[in-house]
Amino acid sequence: MKKFVTLLLALVIALSLAACGGGKDGLTVEEGKLHMSTNAEFPPYEMVTNDGGFEGIDVEIAGLIAGKLGLELVVDDMGFTAALEAVQNGKSDIAMAGITVDEDRLVNMDFTDTYATGIQVIVVPEGSAAIDSVDDLESAALIGTQEGTTGYKYCSDTPENGGYGEDHVVAYETGAMAIQALLAGKVDCVVIDNQPAQEYVKANPGLKILDTEFAVEDYAIAVKKGNSQLLDEVNKALGELIADGSVQRVVDKYIKAD
């Protein structure tokens, strides 16, 4: 009987450890690791390297944060919406994917301080006569976006709310796929974040970015709603990395002023 009780006790302890994640003081989902969910289709913030690894501004900043917390960074690549959901479901510790701090998202997750500015821009074919300013979007037959992004949200919103209505917007799995659709003439423009837009325009002759900025946003790191311990730790590390110039060094490595 005593043996049985001991066994039962061991089981209860094991189960409760598993339940709280078993990480450093139960801080992270896996002991010794910092899991970052992302959508590595968003240069220069996150992309897959030739050998199947990951690089980019977010990946490097997350690596530095993990280092400060004494944890090893693990990058979990998935769809953009899935990357946001992963923190809410406790499958990842942080989501970092050029994520815009947005009212709707704040309902389901918490955000750190901001570490970058994002600008939604409009990409069009070089000769596009139909669209040469944001005012022309209204008449744009079709706007391409990446699913789950703020670009999709703004554009698909009702005209009363400043959008163009769902019928005018196509959501693609990735930003790159939206750009391919633009090149193929399936959409008239793409609304996407400025830095990836620049990379895509560089890589695909025949496209240009309109001067008008569609929206200016703040990027931040998402953590599970209510996980204030992790949020505080990540914010502290991020604050130090901003203060000592590390974040800027990473940004300068990937974004060359020209």
Least separation in angstroms between CB 54 and ligand ARG: 11
* Residue placing its CB nearer to ligand ARG in the complex, 23 or 43: 43
Least separation in angstroms between CB 85 and ligand ARG: 13
User: In DSSP terms, which residues pair with 218 in a beta bridge?
Assistant: 117
* Residue placing its CB nearer to ligand ARG in the complex, 100 or 112: 100
* Residue placing its CB nearer to ligand ARG in the complex, 132 or 147: 147
* Residue placing its CB nearer to ligand ARG in the complex, 41 or 93: 41
Q: What is the DSSP letter of 100?
A: B
Q: Can you tell me the distance from the alpha carbon of 95 to that of 225, in angstroms, rounded to the nearest whole number?
A: 12
Binding residues (CB under 6 A) for ligand ARG: these are 39, 41-42, 46, 80, 97-100, 118, 146, 149-150, 193
Q: Can you tell me the distance from the alpha carbon of 189 to that of 209, in angstroms, rounded to the nearest whole number?
A: 10
Q: Can you tell me the distance from the alpha carbon of 24 to that of 3, in angstroms, rounded to the nearest whole number?
A: 30
Least separation in angstroms between CB 82 and ligand ARG: 11
- Composition of the chain by helix, strand, coil, percent to 5: 45, 25, 30
Q: Are strands 189-193 and 143-146 parallel, antiparallel or unpaired?
A: parallel
Nearest residue to ligand ARG, by Cβ distance, number only: 42
Least separation in angstroms between CB 104 and ligand ARG: 10
